[in-house]
Structure 1
Amino acid sequence: MNPTKVSELDRHRAEVTAELARHGWAEPLWLETTAEDPGVGMAKQAVSEGAELVFASGGDGTVRACAEGLMGTQVPMAILPAGTGNLLARNLKLPTALEDAVRTGVEGETRALDLGMIDGRPFTVMAGIGLDASMADSTSDGVKAKIGWLAYVGGLVKHLGDHPFQVTLCLDGRTTIRRRAMMVLIGNVGQLQGGLRLLPDAEPDDGRLDILILAPRTPMDWLRVVGHVMTRSQRYDRRAERYTAERAKIDVEPAVLHECDGDPIGLGSSMSIETRPGALLLRTPREKRG
């Protein structure tokens, strides 16, 4: 549990414990994240203490950290959404109400999902360089807490005038693409805040990552990019190119900011991307079959 994402900790604990008891489960082990460890060590500790199921209670950062701690184990994760974006939960249409989220954890289906890897660091939703990383870096937690995902709009506007960078993208060791871009986004799923689908074909269990190169040069180009994205156009457009790959090597000049599941992770001039098929077990609502 990320204590900074839950306003009333004692009440939250009591409600989760009571809901688990309704389904015949014992009182859970509670492990709080810290500024130094957003959840990786806590998830590993839960596994070492014999947990059969790990709930990640927090935002996308907490979910990502728990996924890293559980990666490759046979212990499934369930999500109690408590952040601003909750993008993995939204992409998979997981319930947000506590009662339904707990029920999904204890009664749902276990689905094997891919994890993306950026320089050895896993991500569940997206990683990227350039505009999206700068946007995330400029958006404060305080503003997000007040107005939700709309806070990212201000961060985006601040960086629309940033200079583009030269990017060389090598896909699966075969295809090389060179562009002057504003952003390169790599997604395990495709939907961003506000329901915006930048990667409409992305699936979290297809063994591949979807890649978007955003390269507008003029204000009119930006308008065309917005139209391309909003209409989910499948037509080729050099301003907004989409590719898929199992792995990718990205080199940029000059160095730009990187992000992983919405958290900035520093400047860099290169990054290695790959997918780990089926590396995360996640509880999802049981499908109704007729």
Structure 2
Amino acid sequence: MRVAVVDNPVRDPAETALTAVHRACLCRGWPEPDVAETTVAEPGGAQARAAVEAGADLVVVIGGDGTVREVAGAMAGTGVPLGVVPRGTANLFARNLHLPYSSLERSVAIALGGEPHDVDLGRARWGTPDGAVGEGAFVVMAGVGQDARTIELVRPVLKKHIRWVAYFVPAVATLGAPLLPMRVGRDGGPVRDMRLWCLLAGNVGRIPLGIEVLPGARVDDGVLHLAAVGPTHLVGWVPIALKGLLRWRHDVPGLAYATARSVRAETDEPVTIHVDGDEHAGVVWLEARIEPRALRINLPPGPAPDA
């Protein structure tokens, strides 16, 4: 078994996870893995492509959601399994796939020897007023609106020391932000004028504390799950929050769900978007689409989990 590792050294500064992967490979009688570190200029995709081209039988990524999405985007369609050793702040992809993010030994064992499953991958494109276009893959979700502004406001120090709890501090501060006018269309169909706090397009549906943002989302169901969030009053957040926490199945005002293979949102003024937690400011349109079962990933035994 030829294993390649794409390691984010910022997320694994003491090389604890990398050492664990080395040890596990040797215990299995496998050759020592090839290792490539991510950089700011090359955050993981190039390293993953090079590993596949060099004949790797398995690629293991060590890092957070941002590194995972870069590697996943490069490996989609290759058929080479991906093993994930989560070392990020939120580890949302790992949480949704029931990958052990708090036990390094277990996460390495599944990354190397889990059951391969074919899961969906999201692709996003976005544009600015001057015509510049960006693009990237996502394994969790992409969004446009005030939720992206929340991520933009996360203080790096708070994020480092309190981990995923960091996201909730600025979230509270932005709940009263004004709704944004958007034009939203699904699958190339009619465009609707909407006023939203945010629009989410997700591959999986849960965030920390078990909050269900996109009910019913499965990582292998072949569709994007959409949430249009637009409470007209601050008090409107109460039923929305309770629905996510308690997983209510009945509708609440200011929250609508849909599914699609693709979605496009346009805004009048430049706004911030996010793609798996990485924010991009000054954007006036966002497109997202799903690639069904494009990514092969090692998971715990059993069927792919409900996300």
TM-score normalised to the size of structure 2?
0.89
| Candidates 9, 15, 24, aligned match of 2:29 | 24
Query: Which amino acid in 2 is paired with 1:78?
Result: G
Determine the structure 1 residue equivalent to 2:132: none
On the 8 A contact 2:151/2:279 being kept in 1, the answer is: yes
Q: Which deviations, in whole Å up to 9, do the C-alpha atoms of 1:261-283 show, x marking residues without a partner?
A: 00002322212211111111100
* Aligned pairs for 1:196-235 within 5 A: 196-235=211-250
Determine the structure 2 residue equivalent to 1:103: 109
Determine the structure 2 residue equivalent to 1:4: 10
Query: Which amino acid in 1 is paired with 2:255?
Result: A
Distance 1:236 1:110 in 2: 36
Q: Which deviations, in whole Å up to 9, do the C-alpha atoms of 1:158-190 show, x marking residues without a partner?
A: 322322111221112235433211111111000
The count of residues paired between Structure 1 and Structure 2 equals: 287
**Displacement of 1:151:** 0.5
Q: Which deviations, in whole Å up to 9, do the C-alpha atoms of 1:116-149 show, x marking residues without a partner?
A: 1111421000000112211111113331120111
Determine the structure 2 residue equivalent to 1:33: 38
Distance 1:171 1:234 in 2: 23
* Aligned pairs for 1:146-161 within 5 A: 146-161=161-176
Distance 2:27 2:99 in 1: 20
Distance 2:85 2:20 in 1: 12
1:142 pairs with 2:157: yes
Structure with more of its chain in strand, by fraction: 2
On the 8 A contact 1:5/1:82 being kept in 2, the answer is: yes
Q: Which deviations, in whole Å up to 9, do the C-alpha atoms of 1:242-265 show, x marking residues without a partner?
A: 111111121222221110000002
1:84 pairs with 2:99: no
On the 8 A contact 2:38/2:44 being kept in 1, the answer is: yes
On the 8 A contact 1:16/1:98 being kept in 2, the answer is: no
On the 8 A contact 1:149/1:194 being kept in 2, the answer is: no
Q: Which deviations, in whole Å up to 9, do the C-alpha atoms of 1:200-242 show, x marking residues without a partner?
A: 2111111101000110121221222222322323333340111
1:51 pairs with 2:66: no
On the 8 A contact 1:186/1:211 being kept in 2, the answer is: yes
The unaligned stretches of length 5 or more in structure 2 are 1-6, 126-134
**Displacement of 1:108:** 1.4
**Displacement of 1:109:** 1.1
SS of 1:93's equivalent in the other structure is coil
**Displacement of 1:106:** 2.7
| Candidates 208, 223, 238, aligned match of 1:193 | 208
Determine the structure 1 residue equivalent to 2:259: 244
Distance 1:15 1:260 in 2: 29
Query: Which amino acid in 2 is paired with 1:153?
Result: F
| Candidates 156, 162, 167, aligned match of 2:177 | 162
On the 8 A contact 1:107/1:286 being kept in 2, the answer is: no
Runs of 4+ aligned residues of structure 1 deviating over 6 Å after TM superposition are none
Query: Which amino acid in 2 is paired with 1:117?
Result: R
| Candidates 252, 264, 268, aligned match of 2:279 | 264
SS of 1:21's equivalent in the other structure is helix
95-104 or 116-125: which moved more? 95-104
On the 8 A contact 1:113/1:204 being kept in 2, the answer is: yes
Distance 1:125 1:264 in 2: 14
SS of 1:102's equivalent in the other structure is helix
Closer, same or farther: CA 241–267 of 1 in aligned 2, 3 Å: same
Distance 2:47 2:94 in 1: 20
Distance 1:191 1:113 in 2: 16
The unaligned stretches of length 5 or more in structure 1 are none
TM-score normalised to the size of structure 1?
0.94
Query: Which amino acid in 2 is paired with 1:84?
Result: T
Determine the structure 2 residue equivalent to 1:61: 66
Query: Which amino acid in 2 is paired with 1:71?
Result: A
1:278 pairs with 2:293: yes
Distance 1:186 1:282 in 2: 21
